[in-house]
Amino acid sequence: MSSFIIYPAIDIRGGKCVRLIQGDYNQETVYNENPLEVAKAWEAQGAKWIHLVDLDGAKAGYPVNDKLVGDIAKAVNVPVQLGGGLRTEADVDHILSLGVSRVILGTAAIENREFVNRVLQKHGDKVAIGIDARDGYVATRGWLETSAVKADELAAELAKAGAKTFIFTDISRDGMMGGPNVEAIVHLAKVSGQSVIASGGVSRYEDLERLAQHAADGVGGAIVGKALYTGSIKLEEAHGRV
């Protein structure tokens, strides 16, 4: 099942590595003052990709921690993907020029479909679509707003527009250590016909094993955050299980 990739998450706010609970900026835990050191540590433990989130950017609507993101991309020898606040072509071009291998578009997928279509045409598989859902409907602007768009319908439409990778988060599971919404993730992969990376709720090795069993259905990996920082999942052991 080597096609299933574990993405250790580094959420950046104020230049530090943090975690939020359910995207709530008032429920923050700082895990490390130096995200670059964290990225190197995950690489040393066998990470094949690193997932970065610019939390300040997600809130502001444009990249805020871009210098740090570029430093991380240059410091590690594995590909890096970034989400958070990428809502213009210039910002996407800028982030990719820093050495980031894949950008993640979230809010823009709802609010500016023409932009997303253009970026998909221009950059192809260097673009992933982040779909964050609350009760099946897409949430935007750092989860502060919920749209009237259904997650599966959005995935099917954007797959037709050229999206090859989706990152799906069930907000109710994020940071709660209660397990991912496997059924919704598999459904999204089948509806879109593309690769879906699970995000949110992975707290045990069994969660990763359950997701990896659906690699043939299009579940391409899982983003793991809090569980790695609390030690309930060790990255090296996780790789041995999936």
Q: Could you give the residue numbers annotated as active site? A: 11, 132
Q: Which two three-digit tokens encode residue 174?
A: 């994020």
Q: How far apart are CA 99 and CA 211, in angstroms?
A: 29
Q: How far apart are CA 142 and CA 108, in angstroms?
A: 11
**Amino acid symbol at 24:** D
Q: Dihedral sign, CA of 29, 88, 159, 82?
A: negative
Q: How far apart are CA 28 and CA 144, in angstroms?
A: 16
State the DSSP H helix or E strand holding residue 153, giving kind and residue range, or none if neither: helix 151-160
Interstrand relation of 219-224 and 5-13 (parallel, antiparallel or unpaired): parallel
Neighbours of 99 (CB within 10 A): 16
Q: How far apart are CA 40 and CA 85, in angstroms?
A: 24
Q: How far is CA 110 from the centre of its chain?
A: 17
Residue bearing tokens 């790789």: 239
With vertex at residue 33, the alpha carbon angle to CA 31 and CA 38, rounded to the nearest 5 degrees, is: 70
